[in-house]
Amino acid sequence: GAVVSQHPSRVICKSGTSVKIECRSLDFQATTMFWYRQFPKQSLMLMATSNEGSKATYEQGVEKDKFLINHASLTLSTLTVTSAHPEDSSFYICSARRRGGLDEQYFGPGTRLTVT
Amino acid sequence: QQQVKQSPQSLIVQKGGISIINCAYENTAFDYFPWYQQFPGKGPALLIAIRPDVSEKKEGRFTISFNKSAKQFSLHIMDSQPGDSATYFCAASTPGGYQKVTFGTGTKLQVIP
């Protein structure tokens, strides 16, 4: 159990357009979901944390108007990159913490975003 | 205070050997220390985790050693296999509702036949 999916796995978009990435917990309810960004050969950088039904908490330096996070249900969180630019190209990964669980976070497979 | 330092950056081990990756932290409020394995183009997968009230935890070929007084912990991979070749991240988190995870910088492990 504890499977997290992301969609799409890869997306290419033009500069100035918006892209939505979905993160779903398939076999458990997630009280908290996290969004990370990872550059090539680097570690994961936490962008924001969201609880179901409440506003996301963004890390310092992350523009909340550019990276819109919606945690609509206990199994779905979305990240929308608005007015994307080439510097937003990256690997975006979500994770989820199980409702009633301990400290484990389960990660999705990631979404490769390329902005041309 | 949130930093987790990881070494080495890369590691080459022969098949059957022991791979050792070390991490150190500063924040004494950390109370959960997971290790993640990540293959290229994939998300991290939880390997094994430990809490500071235990000095060692073993699961199969993977062992975490934890030294609370030194604020250090390490991952040992026994009988390393080519399939273990991946990037490994140590991490630490604090208690509380959000439990944000702070990741180490990663170690790229290559196990050669």
Q: What is the pLDDT of residues A47-94, one digit of tens each?
A: 999 887 788 999 999 999 999 999 888 899 999 999 999 999 999 999
Residue in B45, B99, B106 nearest the CB of A97: B99
Picking from A11, A6, A44, the residue whose alpha carbon sits closest to that of residue A112 is A11
Q: How far apart are CA B55 and CA B74, in angstroms?
A: 11
Determine the pLDDT at residue A43: 92
Q: Give the pLDDT confidence score for residue A71 in this predicted structure.
A: 87
Contacts of B44 in chain A (CB under 8 A): 44, 93, 107
pLDDT at A105 over 90: no
Q: Does B40 touch chain A (CB under 8 A)?
A: no
Check residue B2 and give its pLDDT. Answer: 57
By Cβ distance, the residue of B41, B44, B49 closest to A107 is B44
**End-to-end C-alpha distance for chain A, whole angstroms:** 37
Tell which residue, A68, A66, A56, A64, has the closest CA to residue A88: A66
pLDDT at B96: 65
Chain position carrying tokens 């000095």: B55
What per-residue confidence (pLDDT) applies to B97?
Answer: 57
- pLDDT given for residue A53 in this prediction: 78
pLDDT in tens, chain B (113 residues): 558 999 999 999 999 999 999 999 999 989 899 999 999 999 999 999 999 999 999 999 999 999 999 999 999 999 999 999 999 999 998 876 566 788 999 999 999 99
Three-state DSSP class for A86?
helix
Is some CB atom of chain B closer than 8 A to the CB atom of A77?
no
Instruction: Determine what percent of chain A is predicted with pLDDT higher than 90.
Output: 74
- The pLDDT score that the predictor gives to residue B73 is 97
pLDDT of residue A54: 81
Residue among A41, A103, A107 minimizing CB distance to B43: A107
A110 touches chain B (CB under 8 A): yes
Three-state secondary structure along B27-92? CCCCCEEEEEEECCCCCCEEEEEECCCCCEEEECCEEEEEECCCCEEEEEECCCCHHHCEEEEEEE
Backbone angles phi, psi at B83, to 5 degrees: -70, -15
Residues of chain B neighbouring A98 (CB-CB closer than 8 A): none
Interchain proximity B98–A49, CB inside 8 Å: yes
SS3 of residue A70 by DSSP = strand
Distance CA A38, CA A41 (A): 8
Say if the Cβ atoms of B49 and A103 lie within 8 Å.
yes
